[in-house]
Amino acid sequence: MDVISTVVGYPYIGENRQWKRVVESFWKREISEEQFQEQLKELRLQNIQRQRALGIDYITVGDFTLYDRMLDLAVMFGLVPSRYQTMENETALTRYYAMARGAKNVVACEMTKWFNTNYHYIVPEYEGARLELSQNKILEYFLEAKNELDIMTKPTFIGPYTFIDLTKGYDHQSRASFILQLLPLYAEVIQQLVDAGAEWIQLEEPSLTKSLSEDEVKLVEELYKQLVESVPTANIMVQTYFEALTSYERLSKLPVAGIGLDFVHGKRENINAIRQHGFPNDKVLGIGCINGRDIWAANIAEVVADIQSVLQLSNVQSVWIGSSCSLQHVPVTTVNEQKLEPVLLNALAFADEKISELVHITHFIKKQQWMKEKVVSESMVAIGNLAAHPVRQNRNVQSLLKSVTDQDYMRALPYEQRRDIQKQALELPDFPTTTIGSFPQTVELKKTRAAWRKKQLTDELYAHFIEKEMARWVRIQEEIGLDILVHGEFERTDMVEFFGEKLTGFAITENAWVVSYGSRCVKPPIIYGDVEWTNPMTVKEVVFAQKLTDKHVKGMLTGPVTILNWSFVRNDVPKEVVAKQLALALRQEIQALEEAGIAIIQVDEPALREGLPLRQENWSNYLTWAVNAFKLATSSVKNETQIHTHMCYCEFNDFIDPIRALDADVISLETSRSHGELISSLKEYPYELGIGLGVYDIHSPRVPDVSEMMKILEESLQVISKEQFWINPDCGLKTRQESETIAALKNMVKAATLLREQVVSGKSN
């Protein structure tokens, strides 16, 4: 049997986030475009050499990007929206980054979540213009590895069906034209790779794990029939991931050389499908057996047993043993983690360690013996030691869980009655203005925090610095004219990590970075034990800010499901249990805020949708416990206390019932990049609770003018009543510059003032 090890993709950001630093240096014009390209090339080659040193058989290229791989393909194929024609005198790279981030007079392309991960991709826009292949970046990466390192790699890029599925702008009639133009470009890219010597080409098709209609299955079949007929000499591996292959009986028979399946997140369904339908004996089977989305060391004996079962069921002659998906969703290596306790550290596997696991597993499948004598026993001991850790046997948490009753999930009064009580108690104007929570974290702030963490600054001096920043921004907010203020979250590095540092059951890493969007990297905490609240986490700062103003200051918390979904979570208990533990901890924090006199408390759930299974028919169980976790956290408050929440990219029309079920008094939605779509959704699916539609995109450095915001507000007023309507940016402002933040918020308040005047004069609809 032919057996090789490979991965779908490798993290491109580098062990120490070198990629981020190069990209941001170019944005700041600290390096030239030539220096930028040369430094990124060096990082690409280092990544390949690193994987070769680890012993992986087949290294992947094309998993690298200058910002986002969907954006890379869009630009390669000429899907550049017409609004960027005003930048025709700029370089192609400047235009590329304008599509990603916006420019002075041009709004960015829409950005949304990559399936059910915390990575965000740029949404390609088709406007009917003729498509053409401008530059084959995948070929360049392949030739770079071949010529510079003498390594024959496996090129990878997003497959045609997934690219079509995730592109916006076409309707039923123009879709056919789009597909007819697109498919020859895919064939051209593949043919050029074949001509250059590529032995295999991997096409990533995560959309094949979503719910597919009969028409969509037929489209997939036709796409690959034509593609293979166009390039008959290409060995194409269709790589699926995140869940099981949909319509397995038919799609496993696509006329390609191999099919890659996820045997982690789609394990049961994929195995059952092979048991029932077999696997084509003329194809390579890709067995995605190492979890590309968590950081836990694999039980390699168990993985080997699973692989052997699959091999016996499928009777294939050639297999690739690999990761369940790209390893870009995990940090690069555990080597740089010096402060984690050994019991936890020994049970972790980041990208490099996962590759080592694959090498060991592949060797055993080939030779029926282990490369290293004690590799299995060491794996079992590490997993067993963590399982026996006292942090996983917290009796206080277990007792709290047992004490929860149905009443703990319900507010005392329904929203309609609470709204009237809160209006009187809070004395808010029509169309109240506020922000999502965070304000810019300056270089000085980051340096001060770093000095404090290194013990170069006392706790007292650090606290004094944070108080000065809070006081300064309370004044700024009052000068701008915002109605509801925030303390700015200057004490927080990250909206999840901050709470992980203060709750038991969490571990915080030093260098476990993963990319969230663009150059934005996050360091998810690790939930490895029972979660318990021990002391107030946010009360001190919010109360300090509240004493400086007569306006209300919001308490700011991250919701239980977002903390769960944006952490690396223990895998020994169901996620539902961890969510419930988090909810109980936040419930205690909310009670502490309320007792301290905070009347508005925001519990953000931007990742609520992220945990959904990809197929809508499987949503019910997740949504039940996820919504209940939010309600358990927030339902103990008085009727006068107003609960806010915030969500990102929620695709409102198919998510309105869960949003409504949260029973939050006010929800703010990240909507500016796709505002028209949300307005259409609200016309069809009215929403009765308080709602704020983000009036400008904080992911772009540009400052929108008042008229641009007014257009959004006037459109919103067509579908949201005055009594419901809040005005806010579409997300937190932590990553923005201070000057652009103040300018944008001033314009937002001016727009709100104009809207109030229009409503009073009767000029508004």
What digits encode the pLDDT tens for the residues 698-729?
777 788 899 988 988 888 888 889 899 999 99
Q: Where are the beta strands (DSSP E) in 504-616?
A: 504-507, 514-517, 520-522, 526-532, 555-558, 568-569, 600-604
Domain stops at, among 350, 371, 389: 389
Rounded mean pLDDT, 143-163: 98
Domain-located, residue 55: yes
Query: What's 552's DSSP letter?
Result: -
Q: Is 484 annotated as a binding residue?
A: no
Rounded distance between C-alpha atoms, residue 762 and residue 702, angstroms: 32
- Token pair belonging to 441: 């974290």
Please tell me whether residues 357 and 424 are part of one structural domain.
no
Q: Is 617 annotated as a binding residue?
A: no
Closest CA to 211 of 497, 612, 622, 510: 612
Residue 650 has pLDDT above 80, yes or no: no
Please tell me whether residues 162 and 296 are part of one structural domain.
yes
- pLDDT per residue over 580-595, tens digit each? 999 999 999 999 999 9
The per-residue pLDDT for 248 is 98
Residue 497 has pLDDT above 90, yes or no: yes
The per-residue pLDDT for 475 is 97
Residue 580 dihedral angles phi and psi, to the nearest 5°: -65, -40
Rounded mean pLDDT, 520-543: 96
Domain-located, residue 342: yes
Query: What's 727's DSSP letter?
Result: E
Per-position DSSP letters for 414-431, written without gaps between them: -HHHHHHHHHHHH-PPSS
Domain-located, residue 411: no
Domain stops at, among 335, 370, 389: 389
Q: Is 520 annotated as a binding residue?
A: yes
Domain-located, residue 726: yes
Residue 221 has pLDDT above 90, yes or no: yes
Query: What's 333's DSSP letter?
Result: -
Q: What is the band of 673 on the pLDDT scale with cuts at 50, 70, 90?
A: low
The number of residues making up the chain comes to: 765
Q: What residue type is assigned to position 371 of the chain?
A: M
The per-residue pLDDT for 764 is 57
Q: Is 731 annotated as a binding residue?
A: yes
Element (H, E) at 199: none
Residue 765 has pLDDT above 60, yes or no: no
Please tell me whether residues 427 and 293 are part of one structural domain.
no
Closest CA to 285 of 311, 264, 324: 311
Rounded distance between C-alpha atoms, residue 521 and residue 166, angstroms: 23
How far is the CA of 452 from the CAs of 194, 465, 490, 672, in angstroms? 55, 11, 13, 37
Rounded mean pLDDT, 739-758: 94
Q: Is 436 annotated as a binding residue?
A: yes
Please tell me whether residues 426 and 343 are part of one structural domain.
no
Q: What is the band of 694 on the pLDDT scale with cuts at 50, 70, 90?
A: confident
Please tell me whether residues 54 and 158 are part of one structural domain.
yes
pTM of the predicted model as reported, rounded to 2 decimal places? 0.91
Q: Is 610 annotated as a binding residue?
A: yes
Closest CA to 68 of 23, 103, 29: 23
Please tell me whether residues 571 and 716 are part of one structural domain.
yes
Under the phi-then-psi rule, with left for phi > 0, alpha for psi from -120 to 50, and beta for the rest, what region is 667? Answer: beta
Rounded distance between C-alpha atoms, residue 706 and residue 542, angstroms: 30
Please tell me whether residues 443 and 575 are part of one structural domain.
yes
Please tell me whether residues 354 and 466 are part of one structural domain.
no
Please tell me whether residues 224 and 360 are part of one structural domain.
yes
Rounded distance between C-alpha atoms, residue 725 and residue 438, angstroms: 21
Residue 527 has pLDDT above 80, yes or no: yes
Q: Where are the beta strands (DSSP E) in 6-54?
A: none
How far is the CA of 98 from the CAs of 75, 83, 240, 365, 714, in angstroms? 12, 11, 31, 48, 27
Residue 452 has pLDDT above 80, yes or no: yes
Closest CA to 349 of 429, 294, 277, 284: 294
Contacts for 244 with CB less than 8 Å, ≥ 6 apart = 209, 261, 262, 265, 266, 267, 268, 269, 270, 273
Domain-located, residue 34: no
Q: Is 650 annotated as a binding residue?
A: no
The per-residue pLDDT for 652 is 65
Rounded distance between C-alpha atoms, residue 246 and residue 346, angstroms: 36
Rounded mean pLDDT, 606-623: 92
Average pLDDT, the chain: 94
For residues 299 and 379, the answer to whether their CB atoms sit within 8 Å is yes
Query: Into how many domains does the chain fold?
Result: 2
Q: Check residues 731 and 676 and name the one with the higher pLDDT.
A: 731
Element (H, E) at 465: helix 459-480
Domain-located, residue 102: no
CATH number at residue 145: 3.20.20.210
Contacts for 347 with CB less than 8 Å, ≥ 6 apart = 296, 297, 382, 383, 385, 386
For residues 262 and 287, the answer to whether their CB atoms sit within 8 Å is no
Domain-located, residue 257: yes
Please tell me whether residues 420 and 375 are part of one structural domain.
no
Residue 630 has pLDDT above 60, yes or no: yes
- pLDDT per residue over 347-360, tens digit each? 999 999 999 999 99
Residue 164 structural domain:
2-17+40-65+131-389
Rounded distance between C-alpha atoms, residue 471 and residue 549, angstroms: 10
Residue 117 dihedral angles phi and psi, to the nearest 5°: -115, 175
Q: Is 640 annotated as a binding residue?
A: no
For residues 134 and 95, the answer to whether their CB atoms sit within 8 Å is no
**What is the DSSP pairing of strand 258-262 with strand 284-290?**
parallel
Rounded mean pLDDT, 220-246: 98
The per-residue pLDDT for 763 is 65
- Token pair belonging to 470: 């809070």
Task: Show which residues are catalytic.
Answer: 699
Please tell me whether residues 173 and 50 are part of one structural domain.
yes
- Token pair belonging to 59: 């290294």
Q: Is 325 annotated as a binding residue?
A: no
Residue 680 has pLDDT above 90, yes or no: no
Please tell me whether residues 227 and 357 are part of one structural domain.
yes
Q: Is 715 annotated as a binding residue?
A: no
Q: What is the band of 649 on the pLDDT scale with cuts at 50, 70, 90?
A: low
Element (H, E) at 239: strand 236-239
Rounded mean pLDDT, 320-346: 97
Rounded distance between C-alpha atoms, residue 489 and residue 159, angstroms: 41
Domain-located, residue 519: no
The per-residue pLDDT for 490 is 93
Domain stops at, among 373, 389, 405: 389
